[in-house]
Amino acid sequence: MVVEQLPQIIPNSSFRKEVEQLGGEKVSACFQCEKCTNGCPVLFAMDITPHKIIHAIQLGMKDEILHSDTIWVCASCETCTTRCPNNIDIAHIMDTLRQMSLREGIKVSQPKIPVFHSAFLSSIKRHGKVSEMEMALSYYLKSEGLTGLLKQAGMGIRMFLKGKMKLLPDQVKDNGKVKDIFKKAGERR
């Protein structure tokens, strides 16, 4: 009988401390109840479940985490955060991990997701709230090019005709406050 040798993992607290400092969340408070994982609506698309991501942070498995699909496919819906008995904002931790991955220059495993985030935030920055038409145009042009945009054109026209999408975005009354938020967020990076 051949016994398989499991890889040896020596815990390293420096990564956990870095995540806790950057994200402001006490990762070490997690006791692995798995409620975050059991409630996750995009679990099917993850390569590492949410509770295992938290455990891997506790162990210091930086490379595995920052190269995972999970941090990119997380929808930030906050179901995990709501279910956590220790009030750990797991969705915020996932965002922190995405930022760390980008800062380290790690190739994004799901390249369309940062393009979506960029299109979404650019629209909010410009108008104070999301302009679906502008966001969709920006996203499809940057992620799939003109061909991808043309594939979606029919659906966009149908949505416009049904009143589900406006050509021109509504403006927030005081967009200066939104711009100030973006400015402050940029200064913190």
Q: Is the pLDDT of residue 189 over 60?
A: no
**pLDDT tens digits, 144-154:** 999 988 998 89
What pLDDT, on a 0 to 100 scale, did the predictor assign at position 92? 95
DSSP designation for 45: G
Task: Write down the domain spans for the chain.
Answer: 13-103, 112-175
What pLDDT score does 172 carry? 78
Q: What is the DSSP string of 27-43?
A: GGG-----HHHHH-TTG
Q: What is the pLDDT of residues 68-111, one digit of tens each?
A: 999 999 999 999 999 999 999 999 999 999 999 999 999 998 88
DSSP assignment letter at 21: H
| Listed residue (68, 123, 124) closest to 94, CA to CA | 68
Residue 188 has pLDDT above 80, yes or no: no
Handedness of CA 50, 51, 56, 58 (dihedral sign): positive
Percentage with pLDDT > 70 across the chain: 98
Return d(Cα 40, Cα 42) in angstroms, integer. 6
Q: What are the tokens at 100?
A: 């760390």
State the CATH architecture for 13-103: Orthogonal Bundle (1.10)
Question: Which residues are CB-contacts of 80 (< 8 A; sequence separation ≥ 6)?
Answer: 35, 36, 37, 39, 40, 50, 90, 91
Residue 20 has pLDDT above 60, yes or no: yes
| pTM confidence score | 0.76
